């Protein structure tokens, strides 16, 4: 019982870390695209 509980806890922590990193990566990618879009827009004018 204790082993399965520890395994489940480890799995949940790994899942949360992966989810957190994917959200942070998506946000950074969005910021980069936004900044690049502004640069292209201002260089266009």
Task: Report the pLDDT value the prediction gives residue 17, as an integer from 0 to 100.
Answer: 97
Complete DSSP assignment for the chain? -HHHHHHHHHHHHHHHHHHHHHHHHHHHHHHHHHHHHHHHHHHH-
The per-residue pLDDT for range 6-19, each reduced to its tens digit, is 888 999 999 999 99
Number of domains the chain contains:
1
Domain range for 29 is: 1-45
0.75 surpassed by pTM = no
pLDDT per residue as tens digits for the range 16-44:
999 999 999 999 999 999 999 999 999 88
């Amino acid at each position: 019982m204790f082993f399965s509980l520890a395994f489940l806890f480890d799995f949940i922590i790994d899942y949360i870390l992966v989810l957190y990193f994917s959200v942070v990566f998506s946000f950074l990618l969005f910021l980069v695209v936004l900044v690049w879009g502004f640069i292209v827009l201002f260089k266009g004018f």
